[in-house]
Amino acid sequence: MRKINAVFFAILALIFVLPVAATMVFSFRVDGGFSLQGYADLLFDCFVFYPMFWNSVLYAAAITIVQLAVIVPCAFGFSQAKFRGKGALFVFYIILMMMPLQVTILPNYIGLRDMGLIDTPWGIILPMIFSPFGVVVMHQYMKNIVNSVIEATRIETNSIFRVIFTGVIPQIRICIFAVVLFVFADCWNMVEQPMLFLKNDGLKTLPVFITNAQGYTGEVLFPAAVIFLIPVLILYLFFNENLEKGLTLGDLS
């Protein structure tokens, strides 16, 4: 029985990694044989690839880092501040977190348009910084942190930044790792925003490249897909162990 179980889940796991593995295998196949020609075409002949890759990195990294600076204090405020309507405000964040892009993209667009940020990198970066997911996750996680550590740091210092840095962040490290992985992967996967907010090709990201890649010469499609998934794969290898402990979202009541 145990053996059957193990075999069953091994096969199931293989099915789940198969798409990724097959993409990697196909990237080395040109005209039916093993070849690095696809990578050569992409890296030496296809010059639009580099700026788009760089844009993807820039947007995702900027969003992830600045977002942390916004959500950590916000979640800290949720766990420490006392005021009426805090529960309702949290429910608002949960609802906003659940809203699909169909709902948020038009308000985002209008906000950006009125500030003249359409067709600039800010149009991609700014709205994503205020995505509510991290606030909800971190607030849930902070319910279990040790308050006496915060109290102790408060005796030493009056600065709220130092309390957050020395009393809170060490306690929520695991949650931060999980959120970084999740947010980065989410930004890395953006398709709609670059498509609708950007007109200038020089600002666009790799998913746009892959969508239009039929227009480029050579077998660049699969190599581009593989190079595109390497950065998130590396982050996943580093941080994936923290996901279960970091994302304690299950019970919101």
Residue from 9, 50, 54, 238 binding other proteins (CB under 8 A): 9
Q: 6 is written with which tokens? A: 């193990």
**Is residue 248 part of the contact set for other proteins (CB under 8 A)?**
yes
For other proteins, the binding residues in 78-97 under the rule CB under 8 A are: 78, 80-83, 91, 94-96
Please give the span between the terminal C-alpha atoms of the chain, in angstroms, as a whole number.
Answer: 39
For other proteins, the binding residues in 180-209 under the rule CB under 8 A are: 181, 185, 188-189, 191-192, 195-196, 206-207
**Is residue 43 part of the contact set for other proteins (CB under 8 A)?**
no
For other proteins, the binding residues in 116-145 under the rule CB under 8 A are: 126-127, 129-130, 132, 135
Q: How far is the CB of 200 from other proteins (least distance, A)?
A: 17
Q: How far is the CB of 192 from other proteins (least distance, A)?
A: 7
**Is residue 152 part of the contact set for other proteins (CB under 8 A)?**
no
Q: How far is the CB of 45 from other proteins (least distance, A)?
A: 19
Contact 171, 108 (CB under 8 A): no
